[in-house]
C-alpha cells in the first residue's frame, strides 16, 4: 500500500466468480486496500490483474467527478481506454493519479459494476499482454487532425446499418426484411446495370485473349488496343505516367473541348486521378501553406459534400462555410459569400473557393448568371476556384442546363480568363456509375509553370492512378460515335439510365412534399434530395435526452424501424435550428416507391408519438 490516491476498495477472489464492491472516495483514507484471495499463484495473479483493471475503471469515474468539481474537462468522454489506463498505472501511478490526490471532496459513491469470472479472466489476459508489450502507437500519439475528421456518408448510422444486415442474415426478427442503403451515391449497388461498351473495353484491356471473341464489337476492340498501346509493355498491369496514360489525357482534353464548344483544352493541363477525390485532395495539399501566420482557409458550401470538411480537417486547414439559399432552390448568393469571407479572414488566410455544380447533397444546378457572379467574386478576392462538376451529366429539370466554369470563365474574357481554375470530373457518377473502379480527372488552367512542376512532383510520389480507372474514364470521354457498331446500344443504355433518374428525381421530391412537416426543393440534378423536416418540440427534447442532434435521432429511429439508411443533415452542415437529411434517388423505381411508402408511414407514426 502506498499513498497514491483516496480510493478504498476491495477485490474478493473466489473460484466461482469475481466481483468488486461499491467503492467510496473519502478524505480520511489515502491508501488503496486490495484484498487478494486464491489457492494458487496463477489464480492470485489473475485477481491482481483484475484489481488493476478494476482500479482503472474506478479511476475513470474519479476523474469525471474531479472534473465536475472543478468545472473543467480532465477527461474527454469516450476517450478513456481501460487497457491503456492499466498500463499507465503500472508505469506511473503518482503522475496519473495526481488530479485525484489533489482534491479532498466529501464522500462520492461510485457505481457498482459486477463482472463474471470469464470477464475477469479476459480482462486479466488483456492486461498481462499489454504489460508484456507496450504498443508504440496509441490514440494519444496519432495525428490529431485525423481524430477530428468526420465523414458522415459512412458514419455511425452506416455502421449500425451493417450490424443490422448481419443480424438479418443470422435470422434476427426485425420489422423489415432488408436494409435500404439510401445513404450513398453508389449506382451499381442500388441495381443500376453497367454500360455494356465500358465493360467490354475494361474486359479487353484486362484480359487480351478476349480480342479473339467474335461477340465483342470492333469499336470496343479498337478502343482497347489504343489504351494498351499507351501502356508500358502493352499491359494495364504496368505503372502509367504519374499524371496518367498520355493517350487518355489527350482524349480527356478533346472531350472538354467538344463539351465547351471548341474552347481550347491542353492535354498537359489534365491529370488523371482515383476518382475526382484523388485530384481534389492532391490540389488541396498543394495549397496547404500558412500565410502571415494564419492557416489556409477553404470556402465550402453548406450543406457540403463531406469529402471537403474531412480533407480540410486532415490537412489542418480552416473550413469557411457559406450557406446556400434554401428558399431559392439552394442558390448561391454573393452577399453570403462576402459575409463568409469576412468572417473567415478573422481566423484564416482564404485560398480556395469550392463550388459543387450540380450540387451534392442539394441537387441544384447553377445558372450561367450565377456562375459569372461567382467568377467575378473569386477574381476580386484572389481565390483559386475549385469547380466540382462530377454530376455534369445528371441534369433533369426542364430549363436547367449544365455550364462548365471553364467555358463561362473563358467566354467572359480578360481579366477572368487568366484566373487559376481547377475543374474535376469522375466516372463514378453520371450515367456510368462506376464508383469502385476509381477513375477521374482534374483540369488545371492558368497555373504558374513552377507551381505545375511542384504539382507533378507531388503526384509522382503516389506513382499513378489505377490503370483500370483510367481505361473506364477513356470510355466516358471517348464513347462510341455515330456509325460505329456499339453506338446504338450505348446511346440506348445511357439514355435509359438518365431518363429513369429524371423520373425518380421527380418522384422523390413530390413524395416528400406530400408528407406533413417536409419541404423539398426540386432535384434539378445530381443524385440526391435534401428535404427539410420540421420536428415537434417533444421530439427535440427526446433527441437531447438521447444525446444526439435531432436529425440524427430521427435517422436512427428510421433505420431501426424501417431499415432505411439515410444521412442526417448535420453531417453536411445546415443553418442552425433547421433539420434535414440526404437520401439518394438511386434505388430502382419499384424499390424506391416501397422506400417512400415506408418513409411516409414511419413519419406519420413518429409525429403521432411526439406530437
Give the pLDDT confidence of 273-308 residue by residue, as tens digits.
988 888 899 999 988 888 888 999 999 999 988 888
What would the pLDDT profile of 402-435 be if each residue is shown by its tens digit? Answer: 999 999 999 999 999 999 999 999 999 989 988 8
The full set of domains in the chain, from first to last, is 7-142 (no CATH), 152-189+498-610 (3.90.1150.10), 193-238 (1.10.287.1970), 241-477 (3.40.640.10)
Mean pLDDT of 323-352: 93
pLDDT tens for each residue of 144-192: 777 766 665 567 888 888 888 898 888 888 888 888 988 888 888 888 8
Contact 447, 458 (CB under 8 A): no
- CA distances (Å), origin 375, targets 187, 343, 372: 32, 20, 5
Average pLDDT of span 469-497: 95
State the average pLDDT for the chain.
81
Helices 246-259 + 218-229 axis angle, to 10: 120
Distance CA 93, CA 342 (A): 49
Least confident span in 11-25, 205-219, 320-334, 381-395: 11-25
Give the distance from CA 217 to its chain's centroid.
39
Long-range pairs for 200-207: beta carbons < 8 A, 24 or more residues apart: 200/486, 201/227, 201/471, 201/472, 201/474, 201/475, 202/437, 202/468, 202/471, 202/472, 202/475, 205/231, 205/236, 205/467, 205/468, 205/471, 206/236, 206/468
Over residues 493-545, the pLDDT tens digits come to 999 999 999 999 999 999 999 998 899 999 999 999 999 999 999 999 998 88
Question: Strands (DSSP E) along 10-157, which ranges?
Answer: 11-13, 18-20, 24-25, 108-109
Question: Mean pLDDT across the stretch 425-448?
Answer: 91
Gap between the Cα atoms of 16 and 472, Å rounded: 63
Q: What is residue 81's predicted lDDT score, i.e. its pLDDT? A: 47
Q: Does residue 73 surpass a pLDDT of 80?
A: no
Give me the pLDDT at residue 79, please.
Answer: 40
pLDDT digits (tens, 9 = 90+) for 49-68: 556 666 666 665 555 555 55
Q: Which residues pair with 386 in a beta bridge?
A: 354, 422
Residue 122: its pLDDT value, please? 62
pLDDT at 191: 85
Residue 348 pairs in a beta bridge with 295
Residue 386 CA to residue 531 CA, distance in Å, equals: 26
From 567, 570, 588, select the one nearest 579 (Cα to Cα).
570
Average pLDDT, integer, range 207-219 = 94
Mean pLDDT of 91-115: 38
Distance from C-alpha of 355 to C-alpha of 294, rounded to nearest angstrom? 23
Cell of 570: 448535420
Residues 6+ apart with CB under 8 A from 544: 550
Mean pLDDT (whole number) for 254-260: 96
What is the mean predicted confidence (pLDDT) over 314-324? Answer: 92
pLDDT band at 1 (very low <50, low <70, confident <90, very high): very low
Arithmetic mean of pLDDT, 601-607: 92
Give the pLDDT score at 80: 42
Q: Which of 264-268, 270-274, 383-387, 571-575 has the lowest mean pLDDT?
A: 571-575
Residue 67's pLDDT is what? 52
Amino acid at each position: 500500500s502506498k499513498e497514491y490516491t483516496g480510493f478504498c476498495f476491495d477485490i474478493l477472489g473466489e473460484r466461482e466468480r469475481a466481483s468488486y464492491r461499491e467503492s467510496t472516495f473519502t478524505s480520511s483514507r489515502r491508501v488503496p486496500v486490495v484484498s487478494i484471495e486464491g489457492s494458487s499463484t496463477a489464480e492470485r495473479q489473475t485477481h491482481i490483474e483484475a484489481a488493476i483493471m478494476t482500479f482503472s475503471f474506478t479511476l475513470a469515474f474519479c476523474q469525471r467527478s474531479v472534473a465536475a468539481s472543478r468545472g473543467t474537462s480532465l477527461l474527454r468522454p469516450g476517450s478513456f481506454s481501460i487497457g491503456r489506463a492499466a498500463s499507465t498505472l503500472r508505469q506511473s501511478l503518482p503522475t496519473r493519479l495526481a488530479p485525484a490526490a489533489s482534491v479532498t471532496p466529501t464522500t462520492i459513491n461510485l457505481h457498482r459494476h459486477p463482472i463474471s469470472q470469464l470477464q475477469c479472466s479476459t480482462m486479466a489476459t488483456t492486461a498481462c499482454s499489454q504489460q508484456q508489450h507496450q504498443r508504440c502507437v496509441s490514440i494519444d500519439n496519432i495525428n490529431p487532425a485525423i481524430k477530428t475528421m468526420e465523414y458522415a456518408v459512412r458514419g455511425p448510422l452506416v455502421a449500425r446499418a451493417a450490424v443490422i444486415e448481419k443480424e438479418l442474415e443470422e435470422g434476427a426478427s426485425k420489422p423489415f426484411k432488408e436494409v435500404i442503403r439510401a445513404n450513398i451515391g453508389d449506382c451499381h449497388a442500388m441495381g443500376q446495370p453497367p454500360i455494356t461498351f465500358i465493360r467490354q473495353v475494361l474486359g479487353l484491356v484486362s484480359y487480351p485473349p478476349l480480342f479473339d471473341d467474335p461477340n465483342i464489337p470492333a469499336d470496343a476492340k479498337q478502343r482497347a488496343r489504343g489504351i494498351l498501346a499507351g501502356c508500358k509493355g502493352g499491359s494495364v498491369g504496368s505503372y502509367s505516367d504519374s499524371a496518367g496514360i498520355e493517350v487518355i489525357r489527350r482524349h480527356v482534353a478533346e472531350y472538354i473541348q467538344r463539351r465547351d464548344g471548341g474552347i481550347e483544352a491542353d492535354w498537359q493541363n489534365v491529370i488523371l486521378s482515383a476518382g475526382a477525390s484523388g485530384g481534389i485532395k492532391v490540389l488541396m495539399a498543394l495549397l496547404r501553406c500558412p500565410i502571415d501566420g494564419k492557416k489556409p482557409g477553404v470556402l465550402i458550401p453548406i450543406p457540403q459534400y463531406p469529402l471537403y470538411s474531412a480533407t480540410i480537417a486532415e490537412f489542418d486547414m480552416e473550413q469557411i462555410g457559406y450557406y446556400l439559399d434554401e428558399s431559392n432552390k439552394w442558390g448561391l448568393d454573393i452577399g453570403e459569400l462576402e459575409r463568409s469571407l469576412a468572417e473567415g479572414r478573422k481566423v484564416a488566410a482564404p485560398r480556395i473557393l469550392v463550388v459543387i455544380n450540380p450540387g451534392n447533397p442539394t441537387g441544384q444546378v447553377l445558372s450561367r448568371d450565377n456562375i459569372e457572379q461567382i467568377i467575378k467574386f473569386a477574381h476580386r478576392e484572389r481565390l483559386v476556384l475549385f469547380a466540382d462538376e462530377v454530376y455534369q451529366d445528371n441534369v433533369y429539370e426542364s430549363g436547367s442546363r449544365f455550364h462548365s466554369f471553364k467555358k463561362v470563365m473563358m467566354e467572359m474574357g480578360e481579366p477572368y480568363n487568366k484566373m487559376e481554375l481547377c475543374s474535376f470530373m469522375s466516372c463514378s457518377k453520371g450515367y456510368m456509375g462506376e464508383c469502385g473502379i476509381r477513375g477521374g480527372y482534374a483540369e488545371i488552367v492558368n497555373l504558374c509553370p513552377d507551381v505545375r512542376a511542384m504539382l507533378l512532383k507531388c503526384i509522382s510520389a503516389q506513382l499513378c492512378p489505377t490503370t483500370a480507372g483510367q481505361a473506364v474514364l477513356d470510355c466516358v470521354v471517348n464513347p462510341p460515335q455515330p456509325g460505329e457498331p456499339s453506338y446504338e446500344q450505348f446511346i440506348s443504355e445511357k439514355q435509359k439510365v438518365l431518363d429513369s433518374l429524371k423520373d425518380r428525381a421527380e418522384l422523390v421530391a413530390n413524395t416528400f412534399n406530400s408528407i406533413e412537416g417536409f419541404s423539398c426543393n426540386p432535384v434539378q440534378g445530381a443524385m440526391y434530395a435534401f428535404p427539410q423536416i420540421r420536428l415537434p418540440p417533444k421530439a427535440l427534447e427526446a433527441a437531447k435526452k438521447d444525446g444526439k442532434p435531432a436529425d440524427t435521432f430521427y435517422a436512427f429511429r428510421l433505420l431501426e424501424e424501417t431499415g432505411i439508411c439515410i444521412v442526417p443533415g448535420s453531417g453536411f452542415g445546415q443553418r442552425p435550428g433547421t433539420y434535414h437529411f440526404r437520401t439518394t434517388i438511386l434505388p430502382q423505381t419499384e424499390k424506391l416507391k416501397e422506400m417512400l411508402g415506408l418513409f411516409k408511414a414511419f413519419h406519420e407514426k413518429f409525429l403521432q408519438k411526439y406530437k
